[in-house]
Structure 1
Amino acid sequence: MLELKKGLDILSEVGGVKTLSEAEAIFKKNLDAQNLAKLERIKNEEARLKIANAIAMCEPDYVFIDTGSQEDVDTIRKWSLEWGEEEPLALPRHTVHFDLPQDQARLVKQTFYIVNEGEKTSALARSIPRQEALEYVQKYMKGIMKGMTMMIGFFDRGPVGAQAAIPAIEISSSSYVLHSAELLYRNCYEQFDAEVARKGIFFTNVHSQGPNRPEDVPNARIFMDRSWFTTFSTFCTYAGNTLLLKKGNHRFAVDYSTYYKVEEELSEHMFITGVKGPGGRVTYFAGAAPSGCGKTTTAMAGDEFIGDDLAQMWIEKDGTLRAVNPEKGIFGIVEDVNWEGDPHLMKVLRHEGAEVIWSNVLIDEHKKPFWTGCGEELPERGRNFQGEWWKGKTDENGKPVPPSHPNARVTLLCEAIENHNTKLAEDPSGVPVKVITYSGRDSDTMPPIWVARTPDEGVVIGASIVSAATATEIGVTGVRRQPWANEPFIPGPLGDYMEAQFRFFNSKKFSEKGRPIIAGLNYFLTHEARGGKGKGLLGEKRDVKVWLGWLELFANGDVEAIETPIGYIPKYEDLKKLFKERIDKEYPYELYEMHFSLYIDNILARINLQREAYGKDQGIPKRLFEVYDEQEKALLALKEKFGPVVKPEQLAQG
C-alpha cells in the first residue's frame, strides 16, 4: 500500500520554507507587484508552500505567474523566441525546438522513483532511496535558476470538474516547457483551489534545464516522489522528461487509482476515439499501445477523435465506463506521418491556421520542416537535431544520419484536427467507452484482432503485450514485455496494479450493457511469419479502420464471431464487406486465412514467456496463471486435433 506524505518532503527540506508567514516573505522578496497580485488568487495553503519552496530552492532572478490569459501566453511565446528555445518557421505560429543530441527521448536510465525504506516498486522500474535523492537535489537544484526566470502555471489533467481529472502545478525555467503546457493542458488558474478541494490532491512539478549543455546531460535526473506527488527534473529539455504534467504525473495518477481508487478509477496509457456504426451510431474506444506503436494513428483513424495518448477513466453511477483525455493537445511522433496514412494531421502540419511546435525535425533553407517518412521529396540540405545536415551525411561511426530524429515530435491543439470532437472532449462527464483495445509490435504470433471472452481474459490480454523497443526510450533495445503498454509508468509492484485491473473490470458497478469488451490488436504480422515471402507487413496502415469497424459491430451485437481458446475472432464475410465499405479494398480469403490462423506453438511460447516472467514477480494474482493454464490446455487440444497451424474454418468446427 502506498502511504502518502510519508518520509521527508524533499522540496520543503531543500527550500526550507515551513510556515505560511515564511512563504509570504519569499513571495514579497521575489515577485513584483503584478505577479504577487496574480498569485493571491491561489489560496490553497499547501500549494503556496510548494511554490515558495520551489522559489527558495531554485533562486530565480524573476518569477512569472502564468494565469492562462492571452497576455500571459503571448509573453511565454515571445520569451521562447527571444531566448532561443524556439525559432519561427515559414507558416504563421509554427516554431521549431531542438533538444540536445543526447536528450532526444525519455532518459530511462536516469529516471527514478523516490522511495522510503522498505517501500516496493515495480520490478521493471528504477528507484532511489529518499536520502540519496535529497542529496542530489541539494547539490544540483539549489540555485539552478540563478540568472533565469521561473514560470509557474496551474493546470488540470482533464476537463475542469471531471471526476477523474487531477490539478497540477508546473514550474519551469524553460519557456518551451510552459509553451507546450499551454497547448497540451487546460490552464485552471481561476479554478485551481476549487479543483484541489474537489479532488483532494494535486501534483507539483519542478524543472530546470540549467545551462543546457551536452556535458550536463549525464547529470540529468527525473525524480518522482510518490509519497509527496512531486517531480524534479534537471539538465534536459525533451518534453517527455520535462513536461512533467505528462508522463511524470501520469505515474502519480496510476498510483492514486491503484491504491486509493480501486474499483472506481483507472489511469491508462490509452487513446480515446469514436467509431461510427450503422445509422450514425458512435461507439467509443480506449486503446493502449506502447509509445511509437501507432497509437496516434489509431486514434485519428476514428471518426470522432478525443485523445491520442492518455485516458482517465471511471465507472459512472449509471454503470457505464467513462473516460476523459487528461490532455487537450497532442505531443505526437511525426516519423511516417504522411498524406496517405494521416490526412487529418497532415492538413494541420502543412496548412496555415493552427499553432504547432515542431521538435527535432529537418528544417530547410525556406524554414519548412521535413521528416523521415513524410512522403515528400526531402531537401538536399538543412538543419536538424545534430546541426547541419545533407543527403548522405554519416556520423563518426559511418552510420547515416537521418533527416529527422526517430522520436521527432509535433505539439498542437487537438481541436485543430478535423475529426476531433472538441465539445465532447471538453465535457467533464466524459465519453462512454464500450471497447478497450491493447496492441504492441508482434510480427509472428497473435492475429490482427481478437476479443476476450471474459473480463479476466481481457486483463490478461493487457498484461501480455510485447513490443520491439522504440525511439521514445534512450538506452533500450530488443523485444520487451510491455504490460498494458503502461509498464514504464506503473510505479508500484505489477501485482498491485494487476489486482486493481481484475477488480475494476469485474466490478458489479457496471451495468449489463455498460461493461466494455476487451480486445487485442496487432498490425505488425509479417508475410514471412505466415508462410509468405518477404518481411513486409501483411496489412497496411489504413486496415485499422476495418479492425475498429468490426469491433464496433461486435460490441453492439451486430455480428457474430468464431470462438477460440484465445478469444473471439471475426468471420470472413463480415471482414470482406467491411474492407470494401470502409477502405474500398478487396480482401481475399487467402489473406484472411493468413491473418487469423492460429500458430499454436508461437502462442504457447508466448504464454510460457509471460508465465515465466510473471513467476519471478511477487504478489501476482493467481488468476493470471489460471487463465494462461486454461488457454494452454485448450490450445494443446486444438493442436492434437488439427496440427500446429489451425485455420479459421477448423476453429469454427470447435
Structure 2
Amino acid sequence: GKTNMAMLIPTLPGWKVETVGDDIAWMKFGADGRLYAINPEAGFFGVAPGTSAKSNFNALESVKGNSIFTNCALTDDGDIWWEDLSDEAPAHLIDWKGNDWTPASDSPAAHPNARFTAPAAQCPSIAPEWQDPAGEPISAILFGGRRATNVPLVTESFDWRHGVFLGSIMSSEKTAAAAGVVGELRFDPFAMLPFCGYNMGDYFKHWLEIGEATDASNLPKLFWVNWFRKGDDGSFLWPGFGENSRVLKWIVERLEGTAGANDTAIGRVPSASDLDLAGLDIDDATMATLLSVDNAAWSAEIPQIEAHLDSFGAELPSELRDELRELEKRLG
C-alpha cells in the first residue's frame, strides 16, 4: 500500500507524484508550527509478489540494478520472478525453497513476503528534495485500511482527535459477514500493531499530544482511505493504482477549501460529484456504494470496537473512549 502510493503515476492529466520515501517518515515541528518530515532510509524495501508494471511501474524501474531480492523464484536464465510480475508464469522456475517449480505446482514460486531492496535514487519519481534535511511540510496524513465493507473510499476526520480515533480502530474482515451478521474484525490500529515496540495505549497518547503541541490550523488534516471495498460478488469496486490520484485530488482540494464533503456519522465523505471521475468507467450505483455510510452496519460493529479499545486497559487514553461515545450518538 505505502510503496504503491509513494510511487503512484496519476491517471489525471496535469498531475504528478514525486517520491520522498515509501516507508518511514520522521517528523518534527518547524519554526512555523507545522510538521516537517524526512525519509531516514536510503532505499526501498518492498513486498515483491503483486508488484508489476500495472501495480507499480516505478518500483520495477527502481530494481533494474544494484538491488537485492530475497525469497523470490529464479528463472532458467538466472533472472528473478514472483507472482504477478508477468501475465504468464515461466514454464519452469526454481522456487524460493530451491525446488523445481512449474505453473502446475501447488505452492507459490516466491514466498508471499518475498522482498526487493533498491536504492531510492534509482526511482524515476524520486523528488529532488528527497534528502533535504529541512524536510517536507506535511499537509495531510492518510491512514490506509483494508475493509471489504462499511468503510468508504475516503473519509476526512472532523478534527485531529477524531482522526486519531479513526486510526485507532482500523481493521480488516477476519471472517465474511453472513446474512444479517457482522463479520469478525481483525483490528490493526494505524496499521502499526506489528511494528510498535511499546504499549499501543501510549502510542495513541503520543498522537493526541502531537495534536496539542501546535495550533490546530498548523496540523495536517487526517484522512482514512480504503481502496478495498468489495461488491456482493467479491470483486473490488474501485480500480485503485493510478486511479487513486482522483482521491488524492479531492484531498488536495479539501486542504485548499475548494471541494465539498458530506458530514456523516464517521466523518466527512465526498459525494460522487465532488470527485473528478472524468474518463473513469464506473457506474453511479458502484460510486454510491463506495461512498456510502451505513449507520446500522456501523452500529453493529460498536461492540467489537469497544472490545478492541478495552484490550488496551488502563493505558487507553480516555479521549478515545469519549470519541466512541460520540460516534454512538451520531449513529443514533
Higher deviation after alignment, 623-632 or 383-392:
383-392
SS at match of 2:299: helix
Whole-Å separation in 1 of the counterparts to 2:294 and 2:263: 16
> Alpha-carbon deviation of 1:486?
1.5
**Contact 1:444 1:602 (8 Å CA) reproduced:** no
1:250-329 aligned at under 5 Å gives the runs 294-301=1-8, 303-329=17-43
2:14 matched residue in structure 1: none
1:603 matched residue in structure 2: 298
2:223 matched residue in structure 1: 519
- 1:571 corresponds, among 258, 271, 277, to 271
1:247 matched residue in structure 2: none
- 1:427 corresponds, among 132, 148, 155, to 132
Whole-Å separation in 2 of the counterparts to 1:308 and 1:479: 27
Whole-Å separation in 1 of the counterparts to 2:198 and 2:282: 45
**Contact 1:321 1:510 (8 Å CA) reproduced:** no
Whole-Å separation in 2 of the counterparts to 1:590 and 1:479: 26
1:372 aligns with 2:77: no
How many residue pairs match? The answer is: 314
> Alpha-carbon deviation of 1:511?
6.5
Output the amino acid matched with 1:346: L
- 1:382 corresponds, among 80, 93, 97, to 93
**Contact 1:319 1:511 (8 Å CA) reproduced:** no
**Residue deviations 1:47-84, cap 9 Å, x none?**
xxxxxxxxxxxxxxxxxxxxxxxxxxxxxxxxxxxxxx
> Alpha-carbon deviation of 1:468?
6.1
> Alpha-carbon deviation of 1:521?
0.7
Whole-Å separation in 1 of the counterparts to 2:287 and 2:303: 27
**Contact 1:456 1:506 (8 Å CA) reproduced:** no
> Alpha-carbon deviation of 1:545?
1.6
> Alpha-carbon deviation of 1:546?
1.3
2:59 matched residue in structure 1: 345
> Alpha-carbon deviation of 1:393?
5.7
User: What stretches of structure 2 of length at least 5 have no aligned partner?
Assistant: 10-16, 175-183
> Alpha-carbon deviation of 1:389?
2.5
1:617-632 aligned at under 5 Å gives the runs 617-632=313-328
Considering fraction of residues, name the structure with more strand. 1
**Residue deviations 1:481-528, cap 9 Å, x none?**
111112222233222221111111232x2473x211001011111001
Whole-Å separation in 2 of the counterparts to 1:571 and 1:444: 18
Whole-Å separation in 2 of the counterparts to 1:330 and 1:444: 31
SS at match of 1:525: coil
Which structure is higher in RCO with an 8 Å CA cutoff and minimum separation 6?
A: 2
**Contact 2:92 2:103 (8 Å CA) reproduced:** no
**Contact 1:461 1:520 (8 Å CA) reproduced:** yes
Output the amino acid matched with 2:207: Q
**Residue deviations 1:276-325, cap 9 Å, x none?**
xxxxxxxxxxxxxxxxxx22111211601111111111111211111111
**Contact 1:452 1:458 (8 Å CA) reproduced:** yes
TM-score by length of 1: 0.46
**Residue deviations 1:425-482, cap 9 Å, x none?**
101111001111112221112101000011110100110111368xxxxxxxx95211
2:143 matched residue in structure 1: 438
SS at match of 1:490: coil
Whole-Å separation in 2 of the counterparts to 1:419 and 1:457: 33
Output the amino acid matched with 1:451: E
> Alpha-carbon deviation of 1:624?
0.6
Whole-Å separation in 2 of the counterparts to 1:502 and 1:432: 19
Whole-Å separation in 2 of the counterparts to 1:408 and 1:579: 35
SS at match of 2:165: helix
> Alpha-carbon deviation of 1:386?
1.1
SS at match of 1:489: coil
1:593 aligns with 2:292: no
1:134-533 aligned at under 5 Å gives the runs 294-301=1-8, 303-349=17-63, 351=64, 354-392=65-103, 394=105, 400-421=106-127, 423-467=128-172, 480-507=186-213, 509-510=214-215, 512=217, 514-528=218-232
**Residue deviations 1:575-596, cap 9 Å, x none?**
1xx232xxx4244322221111
Structure 1 residue runs of 4 or more that deviate by more than 4 Å after TM superposition: none
SS at match of 1:579: coil
**Contact 2:269 2:291 (8 Å CA) reproduced:** yes
User: What stretches of structure 1 of length at least 5 have no aligned partner?
Assistant: 1-293, 395-399, 470-477, 529-533, 637-654
**Contact 1:318 1:511 (8 Å CA) reproduced:** no
**Contact 1:320 1:511 (8 Å CA) reproduced:** no
User: Once superposed, what is the RMSD of the aligned Cα atoms?
Assistant: 1.9
Whole-Å separation in 1 of the counterparts to 2:22 and 2:301: 28
> Alpha-carbon deviation of 1:601?
2.8
**Contact 1:527 1:536 (8 Å CA) reproduced:** yes
